[in-house]
Amino acid sequence: MLANYNKYMIKKCRCCNNNFETIDKRQKFCDRKCFADSKKLPATELICHQCQKTFVLKKNRGIKRSQKFCSQKCYGEYRRGKYSGKNHNSWKGGVVYWNGYRYLYVPEHPHATNHGYIAEHRLVVEKNIGRIIDPIKEVVHHVDKNKLNNDIANLKLMNRAEHLLLHHFPDKYESLGH
């Protein structure tokens, strides 16, 4: 028999429904076998929230957020769609500043960053010349060296070689008649 009845309490095992005595208020099972058996729950069939395919969840100890998707790929696509652009909690109207330049959110642009942004000065020049700038061959130069002054009069489209001469060898650039 137990020496001090005040310390012990009688609880019902969640697996076998037998009564057992314990000191720990958090204990839910009478022994390790019942605890192990409680983990052997039947498989559950779920529908993926992203692709709508059915998949089997083998251990079902309460469905977690990540278990609503058939794969990491579907979970990632769901998060990118739900929390990107205007739906993101850090959305600042589609304008960000990086390295002194102003970038606008234009995810459909062919030369946008992975996050969907493109430099505003490039968009201004592209609109003016009526075509998309080739980022490998062409550079947009700010005449007054103010990276935020994106007025068309302040922007000049140059090839990379000219731009290199202008910034690193200004005397040579001027002697070529530019």
Structural domains of the chain ordered from first start: 7-40 (no CATH), 42-82 (3.30.60), 95-175 (no CATH)
pTM of the model: 0.54
Question: How confident is the model at residue 87, as a pLDDT?
Answer: 78
Q: Where are the beta strands (DSSP E) in 107-164?
A: 117-119, 138-142, 155-159
Question: Do 103 and 94 contact (CB within 8 A), yes or no?
Answer: no
Helices (H), the chain: 32-39, 72-82, 120-129, 160-168, 170-175
Question: Do 48 and 55 contact (CB within 8 A), yes or no?
Answer: yes
* Residue-by-residue pLDDT tens, the chain, 178 positions: 455 556 788 999 888 889 999 988 888 899 999 888 877 767 778 888 889 998 887 665 555 555 788 888 888 888 877 777 777 778 888 899 999 999 999 989 999 998 889 999 999 999 999 999 999 999 999 999 999 999 999 999 999 988 988 888 888 777 777 6
User: In whole angstroms, what separates CA 78 from the centre of its chain?
Assistant: 10
